[in-house]
Amino acid sequence: MPSTLEALTRWVDKVASLTQPAQIHWCDGSESEYRALVQQMLADGTLIELNQQSHPGCYLHRSNPGDVARVEHLTFVCHARREDAGPNNHWMDPAEAHAKMDALFDGCMEGRTLYVIPYCMGPIDSPLSRCGVEITDSPYVVANMRIMTRMGAAALKRIEREGTFVKGLHSTGELDPERRFIMHFPEERTIKSYGSGYGGNALLGKKCHALRIASHQARDEGWLAEHMLIVGIENPQGETHYIAAAFPSACGKTNLAMLIPPEGYRRDGWKVWTVGDDICWMRPGQDGRLYAINPEAGFFGVAPGTSDSTNPNALATVAHDTIFTNVAVTADNQPWWEGLPGQPVTDWRGRPYDPANGPAAHPNSRFTVSAKQCPTWSPKAEDAQGVPISAIVFGGRRPSLLPLVMEARDWSHGVLMGAAMGSETTAAATGAVGVLRRDSMAMKPFCGYHYGDYFAHWLSFDKAGAVLPKVFHVNWFRKDAEGRFLWPGFGENLRVLEWMIARVKGDAPGVDTAIGILPARDELNLDGLSLTPGQLDELLAVDSEGWQAELEAIGDYLQSFEPRLPTRLRREQQDIATSLEGRTAAASA
């Protein structure tokens, strides 16, 4: 099925000439092609069949033990000018990067099949979608890309019609950590990845295209490519408000995307709809509102911690037709990870399970599954025009200072909230505990250009005719003096989302403070919660002294993006600091 697009066939021929594969296969995305790939991988041991009675259509892949996660220190953004990459990225000169990668790719596919994967990020017929082609020598990548993207003949037709596509070249190489690099060339719309078979490094439609390349493309074309979930909240009146939310890792992103309302809310008729759990592309519509699509078609989720108590929707989603990577296995050949009932007999490396070897499932073990299998999947996820965004939410893991929820006064304040967000390290991470790591808009590993220019792009949406979403910041992780969480989290977070929607509709006055608008004590629905008045006060407390130090720290952080930091953002930070100082002085007078 070679393409009628000369630019594509010429590129495939050039890559084949460099990599020297035994054969070339153009992927059509069909069910029969997928089945043939699975059979081939079962035969050569790339996949292991799981219990087909309990988990029909499910398979296990065990990756090389030295290839189990994204490698940020080996990930480069290769702008022509170093300063365009910014301090938030590793940079390499494009000519040097191409030479380095092409030397690695030289002859690397001898004896292997070169797969050509045409894919579309987003619904095939959506003007918000963008296409790419990944060339790979990994059938595991092909199978995963079929789940994660709209892949095959329909995508190829769109590519041929439009004449443009992101080029992605990948080879597992020898899986040598010393010969492993992931290079991005934003101006060229090109990705080169060598030496890894792991999802984030090898499924080039995901973080590589949908965030690092797309964020740069979005700036050029006037839209936003963001590391955000998209969730729809339907109230008892049948109105659905869509919320886009950005959180650093370990902050409950997937749980919020698949949130299950508390019993009282379910009884009253509240519903939650999952549009996406990881990536969000937003563009202004003709009415001035932001409309969003989930560019992905599947979930590439972290398995450990996913359980019937934390996320039953995710557990139901992976019950069939799922590829598991680096999980453990039970005696009756079912996938297993920490958080599930039962006992593993084999760990993620295929060894008999021994607690002395560490967790049974790798902490970054994954599942790849079609989003349509999620019980809360929204059919609106396929709407070509996208869904209108009512609110944008930023959040981090902060044991103190940051209140449960606060609303930005305006768009500039909201961009500052996103720029300043971060999480404090816990004992689970290596290094010092309690160190604040800022992760602006949860995009630190994924923004394909200078953060200062990125903040300026965000600010550019505030113009005449724009009907922008309200912006909020949440902190589910505030603790009391004894170190206990003050807020129950999980499904109870719907109570906070309800307040946001009330603010969007103008139904909740809120309380204006120096740091933003907070809920009045009676504006959060706490029915059925065993929350004391003291806990609520602590969750919503504004520590003026602490905030003065925080704003100073935010100022220092923003300073690192000079001279490209937008003056407007610096002014916003200074205005809030001045307002806080004035209010503190007035209160103590």
The CA distances from residue 135 to 7, 94, 129, 145, 193, in Å, are 14, 20, 20, 11, 10
> What domain range is 361 assigned to?
298-373
- The percentage of the chain sitting over the pLDDT mark of 70, rounded to a whole number, equals 98
Of 221, 240, 255, the one marking the end of a domain is: 221
pLDDT range class, residue 426, cuts 50, 70, 90: low
Query: DSSP secondary-structure letter at 377?
Result: B
CATH number for 499: 3.90.228.20
The mean per-residue pLDDT over the stretch 568-575 comes to 98
Is the same domain home to 339 and 394? Answer: no
Is the same domain home to 341 and 364? Answer: yes
Please indicate whether residue 131 is annotated as part of the active site. no
Q: Tell me how many domains the chain contains.
A: 3
Q: Judge whether 567 lies within some domain.
A: yes
Given a cut of 60, whether residue 429 has pLDDT beyond it is: no
- The percentage of the chain sitting over the pLDDT mark of 90, rounded to a whole number, equals 93
Given a cut of 60, whether residue 430 has pLDDT beyond it is: no
Is the same domain home to 152 and 114? Answer: yes
What does the pLDDT read at residue 192?
98
Q: Judge whether 454 lies within some domain.
A: yes
Task: Choose between 72 and 151: higher pLDDT.
Answer: 151
Q: Judge whether 448 lies within some domain.
A: yes
Pairing of strands 48-49, 59-61: antiparallel
Compute the distance between CA of residue 495 and CA of residue 80 in angstroms, rounded to an integer: 48
What does the pLDDT read at residue 532?
87
Is the same domain home to 189 and 247? Answer: no
CB-based burial, 251-268: b 16+ in 10 Å, e otherwise: bbbbbbbbbbbbeebeee
Is the same domain home to 215 and 312? Answer: no
CATH number for 149: 3.40.449.10
Q: Judge whether 589 lies within some domain.
A: no
Compute the distance between CA of residue 501 and CA of residue 391 in angstroms, rounded to an integer: 8
The mean per-residue pLDDT over the stretch 142-153 comes to 98
Average of per-residue pLDDT values in the chain: 96
What does the pLDDT read at residue 557?
98
DSSP string computed for 485-517? BSS--GGGGHHHHHHHHHHHHT----EEETTEE
Task: Choose between 435 and 261: higher pLDDT.
Answer: 261
Is the same domain home to 411 and 507? Answer: yes
CATH number for 320: 2.170.8.10
pLDDT range class, residue 433, cuts 50, 70, 90: low
The per-residue pLDDT for range 155-207, each reduced to its tens digit, is 999 999 999 999 999 999 999 999 999 999 999 999 999 999 999 899 999 99
What does the pLDDT read at residue 427?
47
**Secondary structure class of 135 (helix, strand, coil):** strand
Q: Judge whether 355 lies within some domain.
A: yes
φ/ψ of 222, rounded to 5, equals 85, 35
Q: Judge whether 65 lies within some domain.
A: no
- SS3 letters across 283-335: EECCCCCEEEECCCCEEEEECCCCCCCCCHHHHHHCCCCEEEECCEEECCCCE
Compute the distance between CA of residue 84 and CA of residue 97 in angstroms, rounded to an integer: 16
Is the same domain home to 330 and 272? Answer: no
- Give the angle subtended at the CA of 417 by the CAs of 413 and 419, to the nearest 5°: 110
Of 163, 186, 221, the one marking the end of a domain is: 221
pLDDT range class, residue 3, cuts 50, 70, 90: confident
Q: Judge whether 179 lies within some domain.
A: yes
What does the pLDDT read at residue 583?
81
Tokens 């000439």 correspond to 17
Of 201, 221, 241, the one marking the end of a domain is: 221
Is the same domain home to 238 and 366? Answer: no
The mean per-residue pLDDT over the stretch 536-542 comes to 96
Is the same domain home to 532 and 485? Answer: yes
Question: Catalytic pick from 251, 280, 374, 447?
Answer: 251
φ/ψ of 515, rounded to 5, equals -95, -5
Given a cut of 90, whether residue 55 has pLDDT beyond it is: yes
The mean per-residue pLDDT over the stretch 13-32 comes to 98
The CA distances from residue 428 to 234, 248, 482, in Å, are 36, 15, 19
Compute the distance between CA of residue 293 and CA of residue 123 in angstroms, rounded to an integer: 8
Is the same domain home to 479 and 498? Answer: yes
Compute the distance between CA of residue 36 and CA of residue 24 in angstroms, rounded to an integer: 16
The per-residue pLDDT for range 354-384, each reduced to its tens digit, is 999 999 999 999 999 999 999 999 999 999 9
Given a cut of 60, whether residue 212 has pLDDT beyond it is: yes
Is the same domain home to 290 and 305? Answer: no
Is the same domain home to 146 and 268? Answer: no
pLDDT range class, residue 431, cuts 50, 70, 90: low
Q: Is 500 exposed, middle or buried (0-12, 13-18, 19+ CB in 10 A)?
A: buried
Q: Judge whether 60 lies within some domain.
A: no
